[in-house]
Structure 1
Amino acid sequence: MGTKLNFDEFIDQYRDQINTFLETNLSKSGSDQGLVSAMAYSVNAGGKRLRPLLTLAVLQTFDVAVTPARLQAATALELLHTYSLIHDDLPAMDNDNLRRGKPTNHVKFGAGMATLAGDGLLTLAFEWIASAKLPVIQRMELIQGISHAAGPAGMVAGQAMDIQNTRHKLSYTALKQLHAGKTGALIQYAVTAGGILSGANAAEMAALAAYGAAYGLAFQIYDDLMDVIGDTQAMGKLVHKDAGEQKNTYPGLFGVAGTIEKLQATVVEAQEALKALDSNNRLDASLLVSFLEYFKIKE
């Protein structure tokens, strides 16, 4: 694979590649230009591209090249993630008006077209994985993994649990279950997808799954925290909404100080998972360790 990139070099190089791939291929993804425009509006609105970047970071960890086919499979997750944001923002769900610093899809195009844009992105994600020039077994494992993570045992289940328990205070155990589905499942898939594309063995996949699960939980805890102590410009979406809507959140359960403690403990869990990967397989997991800097709280 050649010289390995450090965290900043990696993000700069591969975020640009992900964005270019999305912009180039979305423009030719459908026959109705209005629909394609609505799909591209949300996908190209920006975002951290964290999920495909995590997949590609695992490839570097295993010293596996980022080929066009692997980039296509990794980037498919960004389509599915964006679909979930469009639908989550709809009036029937969270009724948000701002996403990634821009008007949400339904504000721009109407609720009907926004729903269809989400539907288009969801199904296109599977097309991109199925058509990637990868071994058949890898494509099947990726499709099974993303289906499970996104469906009624994963993200959709978490969203349903969220809706059903608004204004009903959950226990910590139930809150972790909610977020393991709503947010964590796709992030864990992003990490294990990298293992699938790298040909990781069972022990390596277990370590990656543990890291991905902890990373996904930390991501939601951090997001909840930023809704309380962050600002709209930095987050790219409205903040201070969760408490007003009586959503189940970590600050609502533990307060700000307790939430920071939970975040730090979850980051340690992710680090421990990577230690197992390092010690058992002598892989350099420093890039994946550096991804945990995302959760650093600015003083």
Structure 2
Amino acid sequence: MDVRQHIDNVLEATMTRADLPDAPPLLAKAMRHAVFPGGGRLRPRLTLAVAAACGNDLPAAADAAAAAIELLHCASLVHDDLPCFDDAHSRRGQASVHVAYGEPLAVLAGDALIVMAFQGLASGLAMVPERLPLLLGIVADAVGMPAGICAGQAWESEPTVKLAEYQRAKTGALFAASTMAGAAAAGREARSWRMLGECLGEAYQVADDLRDVAADPAELGKPVGRDAALGRPNAVGHLGIVGAVRRLESLVADAVASVPDCAGAGALRALIHKEAERFLPKELARYAA
């Protein structure tokens, strides 16, 4: 089984809480619509890759951490697409949740996914409860205040914002949580893995900014040009296309160099190189060094 299918299976098992007969059926469908089919599952794949590099002595714990990370990411997309934010009508090649199920259920679906992430984390760490407090702190910091996803979304409502702070909160925080959670789930020290996540998070955001100006919306599965239309901070607007591509390449190199020494460091560095090749939109390949 490939890692993508494994993650989907773990998510299916986690989401059985929403499929009980006495649960509101439309909310359950809206939640499922938000999670399946998924995107690249990059964040949970990163969690599992770091756990594997650290030995992954309890796969159930790493699976729970990976599922929590992905559910939180999905929740953020549901809320990000709402009319009060990006007003996006499509996501991952299908109608966004608020278009398919209405705004009230979209808000509730995002909220319920956030709670489900923590429910699954608590359940998956039952055999090693001593690891749970650290994981809860890592994940909660990535979604709350002062520098998590909520803060990142809130920066869009401020009159001025520094691009680095905005990207660090809106995208980098969950990537940092992905790497740190993988180490913590495996019972290893987590803080030394933060830099890897932060570099990959910023690299992904720069790549997303490049996709927003250059990618084919049909291939991307969501609208493009939204940053310019909404006046949002964007690496391309700040650095230009060539500068943004160079920044992306530099961040990937920094990410590889930041991998802490561990038994699986070599394999993880190779995986980062392989995954990063897909970051740059093919339309911009001519700008690569």
Q: TM-score, normalised by structure 2?
A: 0.89
Q: Which letter does structure 2 place at the counterpart of 1:159?
A: Q
> By how many angstroms is 1:206 displaced?
3.8
- 2:248 aligns to what? 263
- 1:33 aligns to what? 25
2:62 to 70, 73, 84: 70
Q: Which letter does structure 1 place at the counterpart of 2:138?
A: G
- 2:96 aligns to what? 104
- 1:141 aligns to what? 134
Contact 2:97–2:106, Cα closer than 8 Å, also in 1: yes
- 2:157 aligns to what? 163
Q: Which letter does structure 2 place at the counterpart of 1:182?
A: K
Query: Quick one: distance in 2 between partners of 1:67 and 1:207?
Result: 21
- 1:285 aligns to what? 266
Q: Can you list the C-alpha shifts for 1:171-196, whole angstroms capped at 9, x where unaligned?
A: xxx21111100011011101000110
Contact 1:23–1:40, Cα closer than 8 Å, also in 2: no
Uncovered stretches (5+) of structure 2, i.e. residues with no partner: none
> By how many angstroms is 1:91 displaced?
0.5
1:295 to 259, 276, 279: 276
- 1:16 aligns to what? 5
> By how many angstroms is 1:289 displaced?
3.9
1:92 to 64, 78, 84: 84
Query: Quick one: distance in 2 between partners of 1:290 and 1:73?
Result: 20
Q: Can you list the C-alpha shifts for 1:8-49, whole angstroms capped at 9, x where unaligned?
A: xxxx61210111222344244352211111101110132111
Contact 2:57–2:186, Cα closer than 8 Å, also in 1: no
> By how many angstroms is 1:65 displaced?
4.6
1:178 to 141, 166, 176: 166
Uncovered stretches (5+) of structure 1, i.e. residues with no partner: 1-11
Contact 2:90–2:221, Cα closer than 8 Å, also in 1: yes
- 1:114 aligns to what? 106
SS in 2 for 1:248: coil
- 2:217 aligns to what? 232
Contact 2:34–2:97, Cα closer than 8 Å, also in 1: yes
Contact 2:14–2:67, Cα closer than 8 Å, also in 1: no
Query: Quick one: distance in 2 between partners of 1:66 and 1:16?
Result: 19
> By how many angstroms is 1:72 displaced?
2.3
- 1:245 aligns to what? 230
Query: Quick one: distance in 2 between partners of 1:155 and 1:51?
Result: 14
Report the CA distance shift for 1:271/1:70 in structure 2 as closer, same or farther (over 3 A): closer
Contact 2:93–2:222, Cα closer than 8 Å, also in 1: yes
Contact 1:56–1:66, Cα closer than 8 Å, also in 2: no
Q: Can you list the C-alpha shifts for 1:105-133, whole angstroms capped at 9, x where unaligned?
A: 00000000110111110111111111223
- 1:47 aligns to what? 39
Q: Which letter does structure 2 place at the counterpart of 1:234?
A: E
Q: Can you list the C-alpha shifts for 1:191-247, whole angstroms capped at 9, x where unaligned?
A: 00011012223xxx3431111110111010010011111111221111122112221
Q: Which letter does structure 1 place at the counterpart of 2:214?
A: I
SS in 2 for 1:242: helix
Report the CA distance shift for 1:282/1:72 in structure 2 as closer, same or farther (over 3 A): closer
- 1:6 aligns to what? none
Query: Quick one: distance in 2 between partners of 1:163 and 1:190?
Result: 26
Contact 1:99–1:237, Cα closer than 8 Å, also in 2: yes
- 1:9 aligns to what? none
Of all paired residues, the percent bearing the same amino acid is 33
Contact 2:4–2:45, Cα closer than 8 Å, also in 1: yes
Q: Which letter does structure 2 place at the counterpart of 1:42?
A: A
Q: Which letter does structure 2 place at the counterpart of 1:140?
A: P
Aligned residues: 275
